[in-house]
A = this chain, B = another copy of it.
Amino acid sequence: MGSMTEAVGSAAPLIPAATNPMVTPLLTDLYQFTMAYAYWKAGKHKERAVFDLFFRKSPFGGEYTVFGGLEECIRFVANFKLTEEEILYLQSVMPGCEDDFFEYLRAVDCSDVEVYAIPEGSVVFPKIPLMRVEGPVALVQLLETPFVNLVNFASLVTTNAARHRIVAGNSKTLLEFGLRRAQGPDGGMSASKYCYIGGFHATSNVAAGKLFGIPLRGTHSHAFVSSFMNPNEILDKTLQSHDGSITCKDFVNLVQTWLSKLQHSDSLHGLFGDTNQSELAAFISYALAFPDNFLALVDTYNVMRSGVPNFCAVALALNELGYKACGVRLDSGDLAYLSIETRKFFRAIEKEFNIPGFGETSIAASNDLNEETLDALNKQGHEIDTYGIGTYLVTCYSQAALGCVFKLVEINKQPRIKLSEDVTKVSIPCKKQCFRLYGREGYPLVDLMCGVNEPPPKVGERILCRHPFIESKRAYVVPQHVEELLRCYWPGKSHEAREKLPSLQETRDRCIEQLRKIRPDHMRRLNPTPYKVSVSGKLYDYIHFLWLNEAPVGELQ
Contact = CB atoms under 8 A, between A and B. Distances in A.
Nearest to A209: B93
A529 interface: no
Interface stretch (A25-33, A102-110, A487-495): A25-33
B42 A233 contact: yes
A148 B302 contact: no
Interface size class of A (residues with CB under 8 A): 35 or more
Interface in A132-186: 137, 141, 144-146, 148-150, 152-154, 157, 177, 179-186
Contacts of A205: 27-30
Nearest to A157: B183
A210 to B, nearest CB: 5
A39 B264 CA distance: 32
A196 B223 CA distance: 35
Given A29-B177, A42-B233, A227-B47, A182 B153 contact: yes
Contacts of A417: 226
A58 interface: no
Contacts of A157: 183
Interface in A418-470: 418-422, 425
A73 B141 CA distance: 36
Contact of A38 (B190, B236, B286): B286
A478 interface: no
B179 A42 contact: no
B411 A301 contact: no
A416 interface: yes
A553 B458 CA distance: 74
A28 B179 contact: yes
A184 B149 contact: yes
Contacts of A306: 552
Contact of A180 (B148, B223, B235, B301): B148
A250 interface: no
A234 to B, nearest CB: 6
Most buried by B among A39, A137, A187, A402: A187
Given A186-B187, A227-B408, A34 B180 contact: no
Interface string A12-44: 000000101111101111111111011111111
Contacts of A22: 20-21, 185-186, 189, 207
Interface stretch (A112-120, A391-399, A503-511): A391-399
A550 interface: yes
Contacts of A300: 418-419
Closest 7 interchain pairs by CB?
Answer: A186-B186, A30-B218, A31-B218, A38-B289, A395-B400, A183-B183, A400-B400
Given A149-B188, A332-B422, A332-B425, 15 more contacts: A21-B22, A27-B206, A28-B179, A33-B218, A34-B293, A35-B220, A35-B221, A41-B236, A42-B288, A86-B210, A152-B181, A153-B184, A180-B404, A184-B187, A397-B400
22 contacts: A21-B21, A23-B185, A27-B207, A28-B207, A29-B206, A30-B204, A30-B209, A31-B221, A34-B218, A34-B290, A38-B290, A44-B228, A86-B210, A96-B290, A144-B221, A148-B181, A149-B181, A152-B181, A184-B190, A301-B552, A302-B552, A397-B401
Interface of A: 18, 20-24, 26-35, 37-44, 47, 49, 51, 86, 89-90, 93, 96-97, 137, 141, 144-146, 148-150, 152-154, 157, 177, 179-190, 204-207, 209-210, 216-224, 226-229, 233-236, 276, 285-286, 288-290, 292-293, 300-302, 305-306, 332-333, 391, 395-397, 400-404, 406-408, 411, 414, 416-422, 425, 550, 552
